[in-house]
Structure 1
């Protein structure tokens, strides 16, 4: 196989070299073709089969080898053969050449590139799996990408070549017609004044507006195909129905109402979703209570003498629930009704892309809507471990019902949720053991970040077992324990009174009729949507945890804006979601905050980078507060101040991260951050100090050398010489 691939590569290289060294590229220049046009027509009359066959073969070779000249050849076909024959010749020659180009790319490049650029190619393969031949048809019909690029890229995918051929034949036909017709008009140009003839102007104007016309045609085809499968109402009662009143659903409803669209929000449980009731709000309230214990214990280093704190756990949980009650009005039914949103309490399911059935305590009703936004969120995933059914399993959803402080808490999972809650309960007085199957905490972060957190959690009393796989739960009269095994196969029983599972979350996608409508899920269980958050159905969108890939409140809000704006105004403009500057914070002590790439991700993507580090032990505010652990780490392209990503470990890391997030969003480099005035003494000065470290590492040594000589000369020039 390898020798055949090498032989094909040599043949392609030889053909490309022959094309350029033979002067064929010069022959295809417009001036040369105009000179030879009369002679060509005479040759065509004498030997039509030879001329047409030769032109066909040349076009196939140019397309197959991705050589320049395909567009000019298409124009030329209209000039030489007229609209009818020119269209037939180019249509079949271009399709055959494109298929050969895809085959060459598949043979030579697909294997190596799939291994190196698996993530990038997966996006294209996902489009093919989602829309099949229509995906390629759209690319062909809307010529936003060069002809040869589509050939080569599609050759790297898993699409069958037979499908590639007939879709290309059909999809390229309209554009071919437009260009062949323009070539025919050019051939009939007799005088300079004919350039302004209506037919010629119209032909080239059609080339310019064709992509927009084709885009509209594709949208029309999709809508018609959808209408054939499902009965489309003649009119609609609403513009948008939003399913789920968590962070994403609330933002989507707010935006739709703000632009005076008629929107209905359906929620089956509590307004505010996980973030308000079981996630962000209660966890941060608990973390604050736990942090106060650390502050009390550290008070002695500031000269304040206090006794060991005593924890009233029911009062702590009262504080947690009080925080929920204080924020709940922001997400309440009353507030959103006041904003113009119709709020329904009930179970929602899709009957068709335009009809949503809502079962409420008062009965059932069917809503007709132009668009549906699914924001149904996610729930904690509980692994199927042997014996786990014999114990009560706590999750981030059910933890807040606790009445007593767990004596022995076993946390399964070393991600952000497991680390935050495990450290907090250890400070509150529980004996906490955390089990993580990976070799570090926070597996997505750099090793040094995880190591700093592990040390801090150990100091707070958390026993951390890394690289340990959970085998099952053992429960008997003596109590409960989790059996774990390390990489060497050594087994251990870890006793517990309470088991908290924090191994991830799974999207809520069942019970809404999505399967019947053909809305698929990805391998991780989230809804399969494109970069504009649209599903396979053009009017059904998704955002938040149910869509992924980031299950963060602010990520859901970010997506909600895109889903809503794309739904309401997508006929004019659709926006792709960018996660390049998406921040994330783990609210442990020390806090771990990151935006953009870290070193782990940069290496996996093959991105070149350099690292700028600043230790918080150099920061005056941190030294004054005797809390100087941690660091700031910024990644930039070699020699550039453009920020690829920033990671901060330490007190107030989440607040400091906002500056780097803004800088990445607005294209602000480290040079401009250095020139920004920061108040002294604050934690935010660490941002400017990091920029200063980068600047010092990139100072112009040669220029500074010349400046040193200049100042030395200036100092010497002022001396008075006495005889």
Structure 2
């Protein structure tokens, strides 16, 4: 041992020095306590082995009471100092180097760190000095670390200090921990885990106390809502042979198939062709012309929906073994759903066996209803996938003016001559550009200073320029305060004021006026949480009225899960499908093993590390994953920026689409990807390679080392990685390499 400490910190030396040390304490008690305290704290802080001997010495020299008090505080303070040394010297470097691997550990420490640490402290099999160093590399708060360490180390401290008072009878430190005593300490160590389980069990019993659990369940899982989240949930449950019922009140496929992703992308495609025809001369094709038959465009959109419908149909899911019922579902207990049936499609009729089970509960016995159309379903677990609906603000005259939304716009049969779009988010920008390219005179009104305010400002500016080029009038920093429908006319007049203007100032200023024939409201969506019995069950909502869920997709009632727009800030079809996997697997197998969704947004806040991609399908497209530059600044995340401009890409030049860029944020000096923004043709497709890399902890060097087909758009990812590599080349080495080459030519 360094400094020959093994000659000093051993039992034999302590026994030989016992009398003299005790005499020293009797002569100068205060001085002896202070010096011993400092030696113990410093030894612990610098992780010097020998804490056992020092603890025995405290009991031998000072007696049980003073020795226990001194060691308890000295060991805890020393442990805290070692913890802080590891934190400030090593934590940042370790977290940067192994960020992908440590992400789950960090989340576990933040969630259950107290229980982990208490268990480690109570079981003396774990070296305390190692616990100090390892915990210093985690996000655990120093105050919590100190308190838990003081409590957790106390039982072992008592045993060793007490043994020290009998120092003359000790022959070996191994005598202190007999098998029975060691077993007791181990049991004491696992007690926090057992206690936590008992507390959770008691809490759950109290949580469910007001309801009577059914003696048996008719189903393993009920899924409410047949959008992306609901369909995937039902699909997974049927695949693992669970008995699952899928309830939908409107249309299979939800918003994405019927009023969202599918129809909007079909409209975008038609609008792009219209523009390409007008610009055919730039490709050497002269006299190309075409007129927009808007009714035919809308008919094609409906045709596309019909072609995709079988993927989400009742027949397909019933073929998998899913029971599909059409009607409105309402929760009447954590395990019971009251279903008011509608329609008579196959699979929507109740069986004789189910009809016998339908005894009205006390909660619903007095509710007026047609008994023939009402069923009661029971299930061990329920998944809520009720989605969201367009938000229409309470602007005077807006509803009376017949404002359309992203759901009702598909009922149009004639192209609006003058269209006002409220909202400069993804939906507003996509639809505004499409209608402008098909021939509408479009005005886009946005309350923020920039369009696509949640995206990278540089990329959003590229989209803004493209919209202006398509003839769209863009009014930023403006809010609509009233809408008037002119008498004897279909014309609507909107009064606008600068965003944030006080009511008194609005009265004093006339504001801007905009006239149009049709108003399209694209101001976001609000979750569908009303009418499902959530308030009766006390299911907690976040401030934005989404259902509050944990990382297992559980609501405040653990057997009820929520996925998709009703619970997520992402509002993305693929995010709903991603959450559905966790919800269904945890619902069916959570008693044996639970799977945390590490892209979960806690209390509506998206984690910066979540590799959830998104894309605005304007032309050019704007795609993004991970952190944007403003988010990195806001979260105080150090970063470097690498840019690759698509006007340098051969395929982009050949396609006449040489505009846009790829912007990559990386850890300073590392190829680890923090976020990627792409604006340009096929941005949504180009992003996939970066999403894969982020999801699996691959850096830019791996992308650079991957062979890409020439000439393709996908080469842009490799070239962007090449720009990063070039900027991180060892410049200091190049003069020496040049000298080597010169020397070789002379040889």
Compute the TM-score of the two structures, normalised by the length of structure 1.
0.78
Quick check: 2:40–2:78 contact (8 Å CA) kept in 1?
no
Quick check: 2:218–2:377 contact (8 Å CA) kept in 1?
yes
1:658 to 685, 688, 696: 688
The 2-side partners of 1:39 and 1:693 are apart by 67
- Counterparts in 2 of 1:264 and 1:218: CA distance versus 1, 3 Å: farther
Quick check: 2:552–2:586 contact (8 Å CA) kept in 1?
yes
The 1-side partners of 2:212 and 2:643 are apart by 60
Quick check: 2:72–2:157 contact (8 Å CA) kept in 1?
no
The 2-side partners of 1:214 and 1:447 are apart by 50
The 2-side partners of 1:569 and 1:183 are apart by 45
- Counterparts in 2 of 1:190 and 1:476: CA distance versus 1, 3 Å: farther
Quick check: 1:178–1:206 contact (8 Å CA) kept in 2?
no
Q: Are 1:679 and 2:695 an aligned pair?
A: no
Aligned residue in 1 for 2:522? 502
1:587 to 617, 620, 632: 617
Aligned residue in 2 for 1:417? 427
Quick check: 1:179–1:207 contact (8 Å CA) kept in 2?
no
Quick check: 1:222–1:538 contact (8 Å CA) kept in 2?
no
CA distances 1:78-118 after superposition (whole Å, capped 9, x unpaired): xxxxxxxxxxxxxxxxxxxxxxxxxxxxxxxxxxxxxxxxx
Structure 2 matches for 1:554-569, cutoff 5 A?
A: 554-569=574-589
Worse overlay, 143-152 or 533-542 = 143-152
The 2-side partners of 1:58 and 1:692 are apart by 58
Aligned-pair CA distance for 1:702: 2.0
Aligned residue in 2 for 1:33? 55
Aligned-pair CA distance for 1:436: 0.1
Aligned pair count reads: 615
Aligned-pair CA distance for 1:440: 0.7
Quick check: 1:142–1:214 contact (8 Å CA) kept in 2?
no
The 1-side partners of 2:729 and 2:35 are apart by 49
The 2-side partners of 1:65 and 1:184 are apart by 17
Q: Are 1:456 and 2:472 an aligned pair?
A: no
CA distances 1:232-260 after superposition (whole Å, capped 9, x unpaired): 22322222111111000111111112122
Aligned-pair CA distance for 1:515: 1.0
Q: Are 1:518 and 2:549 an aligned pair?
A: no
Aligned residue in 2 for 1:380? 390
Aligned-pair CA distance for 1:346: 1.1
Quick check: 1:182–1:204 contact (8 Å CA) kept in 2?
no
- Counterparts in 2 of 1:195 and 1:24: CA distance versus 1, 3 Å: closer
- Counterparts in 2 of 1:404 and 1:190: CA distance versus 1, 3 Å: farther
- Counterparts in 2 of 1:154 and 1:277: CA distance versus 1, 3 Å: farther
The 1-side partners of 2:485 and 2:474 are apart by 22
Compute the TM-score of the two structures, normalised by the length of structure 2.
0.76
The 2-side partners of 1:20 and 1:564 are apart by 58
The 1-side partners of 2:736 and 2:264 are apart by 58
Aligned residue in 1 for 2:132? none
Aligned-pair CA distance for 1:704: 2.2
The 2-side partners of 1:397 and 1:379 are apart by 8
Q: Which runs of 5+ in 1 are unaligned?
A: 1-17, 45-50, 71-126, 128-134, 157-167, 718-723
Aligned-pair CA distance for 1:191: 5.6
Quick check: 2:337–2:378 contact (8 Å CA) kept in 1?
yes
Q: Are 1:319 and 2:295 an aligned pair?
A: no
Aligned-pair CA distance for 1:142: 6.1
- Counterparts in 2 of 1:143 and 1:538: CA distance versus 1, 3 Å: farther
Quick check: 1:238–1:368 contact (8 Å CA) kept in 2?
yes
The 2-side partners of 1:514 and 1:367 are apart by 16
Quick check: 1:354–1:372 contact (8 Å CA) kept in 2?
yes
Aligned residue in 2 for 1:351? 332
CA RMSD of aligned residues (A): 3.4
Q: Are 1:230 and 2:186 an aligned pair?
A: no
The 2-side partners of 1:613 and 1:144 are apart by 48
Aligned residue in 1 for 2:349? none
Task: Report the secondary structure of 2:331's partner residue.
Answer: strand
The 2-side partners of 1:334 and 1:182 are apart by 69
Aligned residue in 2 for 1:528? 548
The 1-side partners of 2:207 and 2:43 are apart by 49
Aligned-pair CA distance for 1:144: 7.2
Structure 2 matches for 1:253-402, cutoff 5 A?
A: 253-361=234-342, 363-402=373-412
Quick check: 1:142–1:215 contact (8 Å CA) kept in 2?
no
Task: Report the secondary structure of 2:386's partner residue.
Answer: coil
Task: Report the secondary structure of 2:536's partner residue.
Answer: coil
Quick check: 2:37–2:74 contact (8 Å CA) kept in 1?
no
Q: Are 1:427 and 2:408 an aligned pair?
A: no
2:652 to 614, 617, 622: 622
The 2-side partners of 1:660 and 1:568 are apart by 32
Q: Are 1:553 and 2:573 an aligned pair?
A: yes
- Counterparts in 2 of 1:544 and 1:182: CA distance versus 1, 3 Å: farther
Quick check: 2:245–2:322 contact (8 Å CA) kept in 1?
yes
Aligned-pair CA distance for 1:574: 2.6
Aligned residue in 2 for 1:542? 562
Task: Report the secondary structure of 1:229's partner residue.
Answer: coil
The 1-side partners of 2:641 and 2:35 are apart by 46
The 2-side partners of 1:182 and 1:431 are apart by 84
- Counterparts in 2 of 1:392 and 1:182: CA distance versus 1, 3 Å: farther
The 2-side partners of 1:137 and 1:705 are apart by 52
The 1-side partners of 2:171 and 2:537 are apart by 58
Structure 2 matches for 1:65-80, cutoff 5 A?
A: 67=80
Worse overlay, 142-151 or 681-690 = 142-151
Task: Report the secondary structure of 1:541's partner residue.
Answer: strand
The 2-side partners of 1:550 and 1:58 are apart by 52
Aligned-pair CA distance for 1:572: 3.4
Aligned residue in 2 for 1:115? none
Aligned-pair CA distance for 1:145: 9.4
Aligned residue in 1 for 2:347? none
- Counterparts in 2 of 1:194 and 1:235: CA distance versus 1, 3 Å: farther
Quick check: 1:27–1:33 contact (8 Å CA) kept in 2?
no
The 1-side partners of 2:111 and 2:460 are apart by 47
Worse overlay, 331-340 or 196-205 = 196-205
Aligned-pair CA distance for 1:545: 0.2
- Counterparts in 2 of 1:287 and 1:181: CA distance versus 1, 3 Å: farther
1:603 to 622, 625, 633: 633
The 2-side partners of 1:196 and 1:176 are apart by 15
Task: Report the secondary structure of 1:549's partner residue.
Answer: coil
The 1-side partners of 2:484 and 2:649 are apart by 49
Structure 2 matches for 1:135-214, cutoff 5 A?
A: 143=117, 198-206=179-187, 209-210=190-191, 212-214=193-195
- Counterparts in 2 of 1:261 and 1:25: CA distance versus 1, 3 Å: same
- Counterparts in 2 of 1:522 and 1:555: CA distance versus 1, 3 Å: same
